[in-house]
Amino acid sequence: MSDKSFPDPDASSIDLNTEIIKLLTWNVWWKFENYKERENLIISEINNSCPDILCLQEVWEETDESQAKIIADQLGYNYIFEKSFEFDGVAFGNAIITKFPINYHHTVMFETEAEKDEKRFLLHLSLKYKSETINVICTHLNYKYEHQQVREDQVNQIIEYISKLEQSKFPIILCGDFNADPESDEIRKITGLTKPVNDIVLRDVWKLTNRNDPGYTWSNNNDWAKKTLEYNRRIDYIFLGKPGPNGLGHPIECNLVGTEKNKFFPSDHFGLLAHLVGMN
């Protein structure tokens, strides 16, 4: 018998002395309920967290003012906002705000039957990070419980899009408000627990870093969420592809944000802040 021993090709050694990239995803609840006071709390939370990349849903914009620009200007960051729809002159949409230079951005509106069309879409930014590219996708899926099949179709469209992107050593980032529980078919499809699309499987960052905590982002501890008479759920996510060399992009920590009440809660959702392994 040979005494040969082979290294594990899937093993990575992570240098925790490398740069850390902080990524925030948060549904900031548009202009609902005391929005200006809430916005101050949102900005305070963001300033305290100091994220490098922010993926925000239910962002508002008007002809003379933009929530994404307000936040980006506070941080000195770049941003892209894309509108989902408009109500009474106020746009409702998604934004990605980042300190990294933007190579390009792209938007894909989801194909949905007319009677269930909530004008949902994905916003993709390609970011320049040192010698690598970071691909970030921010999305917001249909919210009604009975629209499970719609959300699953939307997930199919997202993964189809991801499968056509040029690969980078930094893992793909997909995050947002998916309006679906971790055990749902739509989330299980993303994480490979049901048949994946085009062999694309992403990892649930909360599950990787908080195995024994349910991580409810829709919580009855939040006064705004409690008023809807719904049950506690984790419906907001950060998903990542396989880490790159030396654990590049691997999550080492993930926490809820916006969980403290200061007269009001900042949003009806709690956000997620992940710490990812960067480069030297």
Task: Tell whether 1 is covered by a domain.
Answer: no
The whole-angstrom separation of Cα 171 and Cα 240 is: 6
Task: Tell whether 203 is covered by a domain.
Answer: yes
Task: Tell whether 9 is covered by a domain.
Answer: no
- Residue 146: domain span: 20-277
pLDDT score, position 193? 93
pLDDT score, position 130? 96
**What are the Cα distances from residue 59, in Å, to 1, 114, 269, 279?**
64, 23, 13, 31
* Residue in the structure block whose two tokens are 């894309």: 82
The whole-angstrom separation of Cα 24 and Cα 7 is: 35
How many folded domains does the chain comprise?
1
pLDDT score, position 180? 98
pLDDT score, position 251? 97
Are the beta carbons of 28 and 148 closer than 8 angstroms? no
Task: Tell whether 10 is covered by a domain.
Answer: no
Q: Specify the CATH number for the domain of residue 268.
A: 3.60.10.10
Task: Tell whether 218 is covered by a domain.
Answer: yes
Task: Tell whether 166 is covered by a domain.
Answer: yes
C-alpha dihedral sign at 207, 213, 214, 215: negative
- Phi then psi for 195, rounded to 5 degrees? -55, 120
The whole-angstrom separation of Cα 261 and Cα 199 is: 42
Task: Tell whether 8 is covered by a domain.
Answer: no
The whole-angstrom separation of Cα 157 and Cα 197 is: 9
Within 8 A by CB and 6+ apart from 64, the residues are none
Burial 55-79 (b: 16+ CB within 10 A, else e): bbbbbbbeeeebbbeebbeebebeb
Whole-prediction pTM: 0.96
The whole-angstrom separation of Cα 94 and Cα 12 is: 34
Per-residue pLDDT of the chain (280 residues; tens, 9 = 90+): 788 888 887 777 787 788 999 999 999 999 999 999 999 999 999 999 999 999 999 999 999 999 999 999 999 999 999 999 999 999 999 999 999 999 999 999 999 999 999 999 999 999 999 999 999 999 999 999 999 999 999 999 999 999 999 999 999 999 999 999 999 999 999 999 998 889 999 999 999 999 999 999 999 999 999 999 999 999 999 999 999 999 999 999 999 999 999 999 999 999 999 999 999 8
Largest CA distance in the chain: 77
Selection from 27, 63, 61 nearest residue 42 by Cα:
27
Selection from 43, 6, 18, 10 nearest residue 28 by Cα:
43
**Paired sense of beta strands 65-66 and 271-277, if any:** unpaired
pLDDT score, position 17? 81
Task: Tell whether 195 is covered by a domain.
Answer: yes
Question: Tokens at residue 78, please?
Answer: 């770049």
Selection from 277, 278, 275, 261 nearest residue 50 by Cα:
275
